[in-house]
Structure 1
């Protein structure tokens, strides 16, 4: 009996050590890895635009005089993750521009650590201003949808069209989102241990992508490397930890993008693209969003989960190109 108690005791101690030591190890690895400024870490010849004092990294595809299409990413993504749709759309004559939105990618992070929808919207419009774009079409995926829609509602006259890819909005939410263990994670070290073990952990990129993609074959080593590439930017774990509070779990019930009335008065044409098998934002949400806009069309992709631009880029290119070619002459 004593032997059994000792064994159980050692197992319990080992478990406790693993729970503590492993996250500490991931945080230490992040500290060693995150040692480059955004400019140093970015690819050679990278483009940056100054937006509200921040250097925002972006990429461009297509002709200089093509109709501008801004593409904004979602959680733990950056401009390069749009490459499979951006490059073909550029070849079809569109001027495709994809920025990295803080705290992700190679863009600088704001000192106030504000990643709310209002702050995101300000950066969206500020980015367009920095590039001299008075009018533009804009597409967005998942979490990024809240801030981009906020920007579109603030300046509808500037938006030629809006393209929504499985956006995560939480429409109809009646209570503030609650973060598990929020009181504990509001402390720096617990928050950074969690973030370094999950969002900024290169070992979690592959499993994370597979949880959002229907076909595991799409999650290649090259794809994983693309998503993991900016994780060497200085301060990434700290910034993403703050984003959990002021971004992902922020109370946005009073935001413009949370008010259904704003959707009903938005007159530019809207294309909603959704994966039929989306496990993060189920298709019903896409149907409800499309129904709110007065001029929206919904395209549903069979066999697609949450990231259509990665899972079925050819179909996304076809849908976007046909949509823009059909509506742009009437809107410009």
Structure 2
């Protein structure tokens, strides 16, 4: 029996050592990979706007004088991940502008590591100011929804239309979100080891994408490469590690986007697009959000999980184009 216990102990210790070595290996790989500034890493001809002291990367489709539509992404995404809907909307005459929101993509990261909804909202409105957009429509996906809705509530007179794609808001939360092992992961090295093994690990990009879509065939090598492309920007692992605390698991119960009363007084038209098979933010959440706005439409897409702009881009383009042509003053 003692021999079995010793063997079990050695096996457990060996497993712990292997896990530790693997995590350290991923962190070292991230350090070697993240060796370019945002401007050096960005695609040729990249566009940047100065917002609150940060250079923010963005991409544009459509005519210069088209009705402006700003698009903001969710977790581990960037402007190019909108291409399947942005390009066709541009061809229909809209000025589509997709933005990289820190800490993702090629935008600079703030020195204070603040990725809260309030900070996100300031960057949304600051970006619009930088491009000289007084009025605009805005669309957002998943995690990005909280900050964009916050911006819309801060400046409703500037919003022509609001488009929400499977947004993750956590409405009705009575307790702060619990981050597993928060006290341990609040330290730099443990947090960076976790982040390098998951969010900023190119080997995990495909698995992460497949988790959020219904049809795995859509996670092509080309698409996975697009999602992974900005992972060579300096400081990505450190920035995303901070985002886990000040962004993803931040206590936003007092934010403007967490108060249902703000939804009920929001006058601009709203289009809510949701995947019926969404396993991250179930359809019930989309129905609740749509019911709170006084002027909202809900479009449910069958066979779609959490990323409709990838899973059913043609339907998303049709829904957005028809909605903007009906509701946005600058699109008529």
TM-score by length of 2: 0.98
Partner of 1:232: 232
Deviation at 1:7, TM superposition (A): 3.7
Partner of 2:186: 186
Cα-to-partner distance string for 1:98-122 (whole Å, 9 max, x where unaligned): 0100000000000000000000000
Alpha carbons of 1:10 and 1:69: their partners in 2 closer, same or farther (altered >3 Å)?
same
CA contact (8 A) 1:69 1:95 kept: yes
Cα distance in 2, alignment partners of residues 203 and 331 from structure 1: 42
Deviation at 1:9, TM superposition (A): 3.4
Partner of 1:122: 122
Partner of 2:41: 41
Alpha carbons of 1:193 and 1:330: their partners in 2 closer, same or farther (altered >3 Å)?
closer
CA contact (8 A) 2:67 2:330 kept: no
Cα distance in 1, alignment partners of residues 288 and 328 from structure 2: 25
Cα distance in 2, alignment partners of residues 81 and 16 from structure 1: 37
SS of the aligned residue for 1:84 comes to: helix
CA contact (8 A) 1:70 1:98 kept: yes
Cα distance in 1, alignment partners of residues 17 and 37 from structure 2: 34
Partner of 2:72: 72
Partner of 1:106: 106
Deviation at 1:18, TM superposition (A): 1.6
Cα-to-partner distance string for 1:15-34 (whole Å, 9 max, x where unaligned): 11122111110000000000
Deviation at 1:13, TM superposition (A): 2.2
Cα distance in 1, alignment partners of residues 206 and 331 from structure 2: 41
Cα distance in 2, alignment partners of residues 179 and 2 from structure 1: 38
Partner of 1:25: 25
Cα distance in 2, alignment partners of residues 229 and 199 from structure 1: 13
Cα-to-partner distance string for 1:3-53 (whole Å, 9 max, x where unaligned): 644543332222111221111100000000000000000011100000000
Cα distance in 2, alignment partners of residues 49 and 85 from structure 1: 22
TM-score by length of 1: 0.98
The runs of 5 or more residues in structure 1 that have no matched partner are none
SS of the aligned residue for 2:50 comes to: strand
The runs of 5 or more residues in structure 2 that have no matched partner are none
Partner of 1:203: 203
SS of the aligned residue for 2:173 comes to: coil
Deviation at 1:285, TM superposition (A): 0.2
